[in-house]
Amino acid sequence: MHPEADPNLAGPERPGLRRTLDRLYEAGGMLAALAILGMLVAILAQMGLRLIAVPFDATALSGYLLAAATFLGLAHTQRAGAHIRVRMLIDRLPQAARPPADRLALALFLGLALYATCWAVELVRFAWIYNEVSEGLLAIPLWVPKTALALGLALLSVSLADALFTGAPDTQDNTESHDG
């Protein structure tokens, strides 16, 4: 295993790039948590405002925050090894073939993530150029929620490249069950 991929290193013992990447993944996870909290606030505001007959529709806003939470949390979840993976197939391979198969799966996933990131950035650019706004009571500029999508996919791509090239812990053989 690459020395920078040791999850047991903490604080100042971790090399600078490893510490920076870990903070980046944590920041994505924190932004995802804030988006979920934002959904709660929006829904509670809608309920409270409905009681005093003030029109407020949190449906679109909650949907955008849900998408933001989903995509911004991808890298953090991947780093924790909590994504559904190709374990059913890889675990059936001989022990010697598992690491290369895992790397191949990571490489394919990285390719898909990079492709999706490029298109997500294009979506943000088009929304900005054409000044797209959402329909409904809240006219939200659509480049804002689309930016969360692009940022989350970019973080996932970095996380996958990190795992692929440094042999991060989530690429190691996990034989324990995560069922609880």
Q: Is the pLDDT of residue 176 over 50?
A: no
| Nearest alpha-carbon partner for 103 in 83, 86, 78, 80 | 86
pLDDT reported for residue 180: 38
SS3 103: helix
Backbone torsions φ then ψ of 133, nearest 5 degrees: -130, 155
Amino acid present at 131: N
| Nearest alpha-carbon partner for 75 in 176, 143, 150 | 150
End-to-end CA distance of the chain: 27
Q: Is the pLDDT of residue 11 over 60?
A: no
| Nearest alpha-carbon partner for 123 in 139, 140, 147, 141 | 147
Convert the pLDDT of each residue in 99-156 to its tens digit.
Answer: 898 899 899 999 999 999 999 999 999 999 999 999 888 889 999 999 999 999 999 9
Confidence of residue 12 (pLDDT cuts 50, 70, 90): low
Give 27 or 5, the one with higher predicted confidence: 27
